[in-house]
Amino acid sequence: MIKYTVKPTITIKDFYHVFNSFFEGEGDLGADVLSKYFPGSTFMYLNYARSAMIHVIKSIGLEGKEILVPAFICKELADVFIETQTKPVFVDADLETFNMDLGLIPELITKDTAAIIAAHTFGNPVDIKELLKIKDEYGLAVIEDCAHALGGKYGDRYLGSFGDVSVFSVYKFFPTVKGGFLVINNPEIDIDPVQRGEKLTPSDVARFIYSFDLIHKLLPGIKEKGHELLYTEIPVARPNKFIKMLISCHLKDIDSEREKRHSLSLLYEAHLKDSNIRFQKLAGNSRVSRLNFPVLLPPELRDHVFNGMIGKGVLCDRLWHDAIVFSEKIKRAYRLDINKYPNAVFLSKSMLNLPLQPNYTEGDIEYVASNLKDLCTPDSS
């Protein structure tokens, strides 16, 4: 039975809190909550971060242009470039921070380069000072990809307040089934309202029920319904009211969520420090929002450890063993030479993402870490 997973789950206590919030009266639901974190900005809710990105690219006239994109990022973004007929120019990763290597950008700039997608990989902030210097020097629009960075801070400002526009994915942190939002920081940018609205579907309800901790305890064999949807094309749409209410209830306190995740990640570090496991080098002057706890393993051990952890009831992730530069769609559309991205390839073969949910106890972290260490010792295979 899987006891620990990288997916957010909901406890009865959380549910009670969310349920109560439904009756408190939210005024302009969502916008009020977000303006606390991004004063002076405007917002828009969408069904997913990837559709938010499509909507931004179309609204600000980037179609047909070149966009700088991390080579080490999820394959789901392939549809963004194909749908908007933009040309992604991939930038290899930094092996320590796992973020895009900003030092490679000058040699990739052409007269058609119009924008940069700056993703904070696993919540670790990109070097914002350097990013903004590049933006000014080459006159680029910055789309900040905060899909992993909800609640993270650089200096005293929240991640998502530095780009012209920023995209977020809420369901990765909270059990909201789906949902993302856009933060528009540049007052000269106009983003069209999204016309299409989504209805609540049986698959939404099934996925909501599936996110309950209790369901897994009562029915340990249950399989999630509707997850396959994430790998098909998704229309740009506003989330339905139920999802939007779930999102705004959870967004009320992103700071305490971030701090709980942070202290658990320190425990992971303490347990794993005397081993052959490598950690992500975190940006200084920042508060990282830990989506999961990423570690680098020797590539020849990674899949063996991933499967061994399942046997121990721990479902890790391997983000991104199938990074965007491996995507067949991308290779076909843009004739990509994978050899140009050796660091992204290395990370995709070495990365293991350990589960990290705010309700874990010290004992939970110790259990995951000690099983990981056992599986990494040579005689465990």
DSSP codes joined into one string, 88-136? EEEEPBPTTT-SB-GGGSGGG--TTEEEEEEE-GGGPPP-HHHHHHHHH
x/- letters, 70..89, toward ligand PLP (CB under 6 A)? ---xx-xx------------
Q: How far is the CB of 55 from ligand PLP (least distance, A)?
A: 12
Q: Which stretch binds ligand PLP (CB under 6 A): 144-152, 192-200, 208-216, 310-318?
A: 144-152
∠ CA 93-353-306, rounded to 5°: 115
For ligand PLP, the closer of residues 243 and 369 by Cβ is 243
Calpha distance 166→145 (Å, rounded): 6
Percentages of the chain per state (helix, strand, coil), in multiples of 5: 45, 15, 40
Q: How far is the CB of 49 from ligand PLP (least distance, A)?
A: 3
- Give the distance from CA 313 to its chain's centroid: 23
Is 293 in contact with 125 (CB distance < 8 Å)? Answer: no
Calpha distance 91→121 (Å, rounded): 14
Calpha distance 283→149 (Å, rounded): 13
Q: Which stretch binds ligand PLP (CB under 6 A): 142-150, 187-195, 252-260, 342-350?
A: 142-150
For ligand PLP, the closer of residues 66 and 145 by Cβ is 145
Near ligand PLP by CB under 6 A: residue from 14, 145, 257, 317: 145
Strands, E assignment, the chain: 4-5, 42-46, 66-70, 87-91, 113-119, 141-145, 153-154, 157-158, 165-169, 180-184, 278-279, 286-287, 293-296, 314-315, 351-354
Determine the size of the site formed for ligand PLP (CB under 6 A): 13
Q: How far is the CB of 169 from ligand PLP (least distance, A)?
A: 3
Q: How far is the CB of 174 from ligand PLP (least distance, A)?
A: 12
Q: How far is the CB of 181 from ligand PLP (least distance, A)?
A: 10
- The DSSP call for residue 86 is -
Is residue 147 close enough to count as binding ligand PLP by CB under 6 A?
A: yes
- Strands 66-70 and 141-145 turn out to be unpaired
Considering only residues 233-262, where is the footprint of ligand PLP by CB under 6 A? none
Is residue 198 close enough to count as binding ligand PLP by CB under 6 A?
A: no
Calpha distance 140→142 (Å, rounded): 6
- In terms of C-beta distances under 8 Å and separation of at least 24 residues, what long-range contacts does 216-221 make, across chains too? 216/1, 216/2, 216/9, 220/1, 220/2
DSSP codes joined into one string, 221-269? T---SSGGGGGS-----BPPHHHHHHHHHHGGGHHHHHHHHHHHHHHHH
Q: Which stretch binds ligand PLP (CB under 6 A): 21-29, 140-148, 157-165, 357-365?
A: 140-148
Considering only residues 175-194, where is the footprint of ligand PLP by CB under 6 A? 180
Q: How far is the CB of 64 from ligand PLP (least distance, A)?
A: 22
x/- letters, 10..49, toward ligand PLP (CB under 6 A)? --------------------------------------xx
For ligand PLP, the closer of residues 74 and 140 by Cβ is 74
Near ligand PLP by CB under 6 A: residue from 14, 44, 79, 148: 148
For ligand PLP, the closer of residues 71 and 74 by Cβ is 74
For ligand PLP, the closer of residues 168 and 367 by Cβ is 168
Is residue 55 close enough to count as binding ligand PLP by CB under 6 A?
A: no
Q: How far is the CB of 217 from ligand PLP (least distance, A)?
A: 27
Residues that bind ligand PLP (CB under 6 A): 48-50, 73-74, 76-77, 119, 145, 147-148, 169, 180
